[in-house]
Amino acid sequence: MRTIRSGGEHELQIKKSRFVCALARVGGEDEARAFIAERRRLHWSAAHNCTAYVVGAEGDVQRSSDDGEPSGTAGVPMLEVLRHRGITDTAAVVTRYFGGVKLGAGGLIRAYGSAVAAALDGVGVLERRTLAVVTVSADYLLAGRLESGLRDSAYRVQDVRYGAGVDFDVAVSEPALPGFGAWLAEATGGKAHYEISGSATVEVDPDTG
C-alpha cells in the first residue's frame, strides 16, 4: 500500500467551475471525518463538498459521498482514484464552486477524478514496505564508529539501546540481509553480528527505494 507524503491542495477550473481538492493523512475514520468537517466549515458557501477516504493497513475501510451531486458522479470516482493508486490512510475532499455551466454525468466523473489525481501528483506518495528488523550488539569501543557508519548507510536505524553494550535495531529488506552481513563484518572487522528480532513497516519513496 501507499500513502501521501503530506497533506495539500490542488485546484482545477473546468467550464467555469472551481474544483479544489484537499488531501490529508489520517490515522482512522475519526480523523477522516474530522478533516471532512473542517473542510466543510471552511468552504460552507460552496455548491458541494464531496468526499472519499481509505484507511487501514490494507485499505479495507473505504467511504465516499457525492454531497448532492448526481449519484455516483463525485465520491465514487474520487474513491476509485485512491483505490487504483493503492492509497490508504488518506482523506480527500473536493470542493466545487459552480460556475454556471453544467458538466453532465461524464463530465462530473472526469472532473472529480482528475482533481484527486492532480492533488496526489502534487503532494507525492510514499510506499509502505515491511522490512526485517535485525539487532546488532556491539561493545562501546565499536559502537560509536558503527553507529556513524549505519547512519551514513542506506540501512535504517530504528532504535539504539545502551546497557552492558550497545544494541542497534536496523530495518533491512530480506533480500538485502546477506549484503548487510557483509557490510557489518567489514565495518567491525568481524567483531559484530546480527540476529533477526522482528519486522517493521517503513515508508519509502517508490522512485528511489
Q: Which residues does 46 contact at the CB level (< 8 Å), separation at least 6?
A: 95, 96, 97
Is pLDDT at 116 greater than 90 in this prediction?
yes
The amino acid sitting at 123 is V
For residue 93, report the phi and psi dihedrals to the nearest 5 degrees: -125, 125
In a domain, residue 160? The reply is yes
CATH code of 112's domain: 3.30.230.30
Last residue of a domain, one of 123, 148, 172: 123
Summarize pLDDT for 121-165 with one digit per residue, the tens.
999 999 988 899 999 999 998 999 999 999 998 888 999 999 989
The yes-or-no verdict on residue 43 having pLDDT over 60 is yes
Pairwise CA distance, residues 73 & 202, whole Å: 35
Residue that is last in its domain, among 90, 123, 156: 123
How far is the CA of 183 from the CAs of 81, 135, 177, in angstroms? 41, 14, 10
Whole-angstrom distance, CA of residue 9 vs CA of residue 19 = 10
Of 25, 90, 5, nearest in space to 54 by CA: 90
CATH code where residue 144 lies: 3.30.70.240
pLDDT, tens digit, 9 for 90 and up, residues 49-88: 999 999 998 999 999 999 999 999 999 999 999 999 999 9
Q: Is residue 209 part of a domain?
A: no
Whether residue 32 is found in the same domain as residue 101: yes
Mean pLDDT of the chain: 93
Percent above pLDDT 90 for the chain: 80
Taking 90 as the threshold, does the pLDDT of residue 5 lie above it?
yes
Domain shared by 23 and 70, yes or no = yes
> Same domain for 18 and 83?
yes
d(CA 146, CA 189): 11
The domain tally of the chain equals 2
Note whether 109 and 172 are same-domain residues: no
99 lies in the same domain as 189: no
Give the domain range for residue 95.
2-123
Kindly report the pTM of this predicted structure.
0.78
Identify whether residues 7 and 109 lie together within a single domain.
yes
Distances (CA, A) of 198 to 130, 139, 158, 195: 10, 22, 11, 9
> E strands along 26-155, which residues?
48-55, 61-65, 90-97, 125-138
What confidence score (pLDDT) does residue 208 get?
A: 59
Between CA 167 and CA 169, with CA 168 as vertex, the angle to 5 degrees is 120
